[in-house]
């Protein structure tokens, strides 16, 4: 719980990834998904991030307002919108990637030569803990 509390506290006011805007985890992960999948639609983005279309639509509108994301009509379907990153959005995307690389480097320094297998083992264990916690919630505990 202390790890979760530490991460949540660190991100409570958002993080500036080089754009002058503090971005919350949901926002930067939306930017990352758009950066990886340039031209993705709102529907595809919602499916990929496992959130509702109205939630993604609201989030994208906020990111457009911050000058990080652009919406363009798709050529093949005039009703559909293709999402892309502005120059500032690309800076945030690159800053977030650099943040993850720095974090991974610190893990590597700590974990040594078997970093990848140890991270995979930790991830698998935490995923199992999450599954157990969700099952407890579903049983009313």
Residue 108 domain-assigned? yes
pLDDT classification of 7: cutoffs 50, 70, 90: confident
Over residues 58-88, the pLDDT tens digits come to 999 999 999 999 998 877 776 778 999 999 9
Residue 134 lies in a domain: no
* pLDDT over 80 (residue 141): no
Decide if 86 contacts 69 (C-beta within 8 A). Answer: yes
Q: d(Cα 116, Cα 43) in Å, to the nearest integer? A: 33
% pLDDT > 70, the chain: 94
Contacts 24+ apart (CB under 8 A), 78-87: 80/41, 80/43, 81/41, 81/42, 82/39, 82/40, 82/41, 83/34, 83/38, 83/39, 83/40, 83/41, 83/42, 83/45, 84/34, 84/38, 84/39, 85/31, 85/34, 85/35, 85/38
- The domain that holds 75 is classified in CATH as 1.10.10.10
6, 44, 118, 128 from 107: Cα distances, Å: 17, 32, 10, 21
Question: Does any domain span residue 139?
Answer: no
Write down the pTM of the prediction: 0.76
Q: 98 is written with which tokens?
A: 């650099």
Domains in the chain, number = 1
Where residue 103 falls among pLDDT bands split at 50, 70, 90?
confident
Residue 73 lies in a domain: yes
Selection from 25, 29, 1 nearest residue 12 by Cα: 25
Per-residue pLDDT at 140 exceeds 60: no
Is 122 a member of any domain? no
Decide if 32 is inside a domain: yes
- Report if residue 118 sits inside a domain: no
117: pLDDT strictly greater than 90: no
């Amino acid at each position: 719980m202390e790890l979760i509390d530490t991460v949540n506290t660190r991100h409570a006011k958002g993080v500036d990834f080089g754009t002058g805007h503090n971005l919350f985890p949901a926002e930067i992960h939306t930017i990352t998904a758009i950066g990886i999948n340039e031209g993705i639609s709102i529907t595809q983005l919602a499916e990929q991030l496992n959130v509702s279309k109205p939630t993604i639509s609201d989030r994208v509108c906020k990111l457009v307002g911050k000058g990080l994301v652009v919406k363009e009509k798709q050529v093949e379907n005039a009703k559909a919108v293709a999402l892309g990153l502005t120059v500032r959005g690309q800076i945030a995307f690159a800053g977030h990637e650099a943040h993850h690389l720095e974090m991974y480097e610190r893990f590597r320094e700590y974990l040594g030569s078997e970093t990848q297998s140890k991270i995979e083992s930790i991830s698998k264990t935490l995923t199992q803990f999450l599954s157990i916690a969700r099952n407890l919630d579903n049983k009313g505990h």
